[in-house]
């Protein structure tokens, strides 16, 4: 594996969100914990897990991504971009009891003047169906409001991803509209639904 230096001064380096997120909090200054899920800074030991998500072409297509290269160097460059983006934040979703990664959460394209950004989460397949995606998304929304002072979160979701759309609607996102034939894979075109939540 290529060298991947971790920047530990990510989104939670300057404070804790115990007053927002109920449950035991054991890693103040870099973690926010809600029930059995925490959002924390990425660590070097997370590389192989995050690389496996990046290399899953079916998952990436569901996330509206087409990844050109997935070797260790390309994955490391992607992680570096995410971690150092001044208009975003990138966090690992971890089991708060074991600290093992189960996904990642991010806010991108933060518009500081208008106070909005785009949110997204990924939960590994073996951790799905347990309500962890809901917990992680609620935690990310809380962070967007209290840490980044955003007033609105937007997201794009593939129209056929009904499970994700239902989840987002259940936590207060509303559908703004549908972008017809907006995302292309090798063998299909997909509509994309734009959603928003006022914070």
Domain spans, the chain: 32-154
SS3 3: coil
Q: pLDDT digits over 10-21, tens only?
A: 222 222 333 333
Specify the pLDDT at position 35.
62
pTM of structure: 0.80
To the nearest 10°, the Cα dihedral for 88, 93, 96, 97?
Answer: -150
Q: pLDDT digits over 67-98, tens only?
A: 989 999 999 999 999 999 999 999 999 998 89
Q: Are 99 and 41 in contact (CB under 8 A)?
A: no
Residues of the chain scoring pLDDT < 70: 1-35
32-154 sits in which CATH class?
Answer: alpha beta
């Amino acid at each position: 594996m290529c060298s991947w230096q971790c920047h530990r001064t990510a989104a939670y380096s300057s404070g804790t969100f115990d007053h927002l997120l109920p449950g035991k909090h054991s890693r103040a200054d870099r973690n926010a914990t809600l029930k059995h899920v925490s959002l924390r800074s990425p660590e070097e030991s997370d590389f192989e897990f995050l690389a496996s998500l990046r290399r899953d072409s079916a998952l990436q297509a569901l996330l509206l991504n087409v990844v050109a290269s997935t070797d260790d160097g390309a994955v490391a460059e992607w992680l570096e971009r995410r971690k150092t983006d001044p208009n975003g934040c990138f966090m690992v979703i971890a089991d708060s009891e074991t600290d093992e990664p189960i996904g990642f959460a991010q806010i991108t394209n933060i518009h500081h003047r208008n106070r909005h950004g785009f949110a997204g989460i990924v939960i590994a397949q073996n951790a799905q169906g347990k309500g962890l995606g809901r917990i992680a998304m609620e935690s990310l929304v809380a962070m967007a409001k209290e840490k980044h002072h955003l007033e609105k979160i937007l997201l794009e979701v593939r129209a056929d991803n009904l499970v994700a759309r239902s989840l987002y609607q259940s936590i207060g996102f509303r559908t703004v509209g549908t972008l017809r034939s907006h995302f292309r894979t090798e063998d299909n075109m997909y509509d994309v639904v734009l959603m928003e939540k006022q914070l």
